[in-house]
Structure 1
Amino acid sequence: MTLAQALQQSAHILSSNGIDDSHIEARMLLAHITKLSPVQIYTQPERVLNQEQEGNLQELVERRICREPAAYIVKHREFYGIDFYVDSRVLIPRPETELLVDMALEFTSSTYLARPLLIADIGTGCGAIAVSLALNLPNSKIYATDVSLLALEVARLNCEHHKVTDRITLLQGNLLEPLPEHVDLLVANLPYIKSSELATLSPEITKFEPRMAIDGGKSGLDYIRQLLEQTKERINNKGCLLLEIGQNQEKELDNLIRSCLGRANFRFTSDLNGVKRVVKINF
């Protein structure tokens, strides 16, 4: 079987089983088993797969049909132009979360200190936000917390791979509790989906991603409320908190911020789809 045939057949099988973007996903699986880049796949269509590669591709396609996310199958996901190792111990980084990194870098560019900037990534998961910031802010000091030791194992792998272990300190614990000092910038992508809405999500999420990374409790804002209640005790004067939120949560969060922080200075920023995705709170 040639590369072109393998790509066409795999895409057809995936599409027939209700997998969106079947051609892209088929190409991803084919690239994984052949160790070829997308460019090589398209420029060498007559290249023949060996028997082992054909068998491996069939196995991966079957896993994807069973709704296992492609990122878990190939063990990596790109985020902010950076390649990250991921597996079922962590939530798969989403493109919309890149807005958090953009806004964090925007804040740091206008902040002038006579010492390294202190940043905390809360609920770090695979470490995508922390590593992205560390690579773009080499003089910063970053804490990355997570309640899950399994997630921190994955984050450590990514810190080591990208050689930022000297800039990122991984801490196990609930939200801000493990932080050893006040910070200038808090960045958090916490679970914000209501428990009652989990059943409406795709099988890729409900069957494979860690529930603790998506379940925001009864209101969807349980962890965000806890974070807001802890923030004043952990953030420096003129500091900033950046929070990712879900669609249509801005009104409820507006009330929550005022309840927890009083007359706080905050604003919402929309993502590329027009969804209010990040709230920035200044202190």
Structure 2
Amino acid sequence: MADDMSPDMTLDDYEFPTSRLRRRIQSEDRTPLVLIACGSFSPLTFLHLRMFEMAADYARFNSSFEVVGAYLSCVGDAYKKTGLVKAEHRINMCSLAVQQSSWISVDPWEALHSEYLETAKVLDHFEEEINGKLGGVETPVGKKKCRICLLAGADLIQTMSTPGVWAQADIDYILRNFGAFIVERTGTDIDEALSTLQPWKDNIWVIQQLVQNDISSTKIRLFLRRDMSIRYLVPEPVVAYIEENGLYDDDGAGSTGSDGKGKGKSTNAPGESGGVASSSAA
């Protein structure tokens, strides 16, 4: 795995991944864009990957941006969310999922921190690495700084509009300095979510889901606890990794609150249904 994470990796070993970041654009009229998806990714699903493709299409047809790269940034173990397996597993699953992508990378920097990092600090990290250290990308008229934008589902914007969930200063900092590409999600009233974010409306781009998809990591974990198949809901290498490492077995093995290494519990092929789940699996 190009961006995999071993248990003993530290920030001292860290190198920012640039192999899939395009370093030149041909149009002098377009602004290079890098999309950043922050989250638990426990586990990553096809919808997470699909969001990048939808955002790239939207940017190409509806904006003056040109996508030059994209990154998955996994939250660290200090987040302590229910169902959060250890960072090394989540980084490795994400890396497996993007093996076939030419433009989506996995950055372990956030996950390597022992303390929780706010999204604003993570976006600052990408700004520094891409525009500070690399100086942006080449264009026919010289180097241009990349626009760093958050990529998220509409449920995130809904939390931003919910009093007490986000610090107002962080919302202002993120939407004023970076902006967000937001993918509509089933069950989220996007208009209501955006109603309190009008001061930053010019930095929010809403992407319609033309093919409805409501896969979530929560549902994947529920299926696994019930010994149900997750095949074709997450990438096949991720299915195999979950099985091999015994992840999400009652959210125990491999979790941030467990020291167990975990072992596969099923003799079926990875992700295959084991038949009707017993009543105790619900």
Alignment TM-score, normalising by the size of structure 1 = 0.34
Higher relative contact order (CA 8 A, sep 6+): 2
Question: Where is the helix percentage greater, Structure 1 or Structure 2?
Answer: 1
Larger radius of gyration: 1
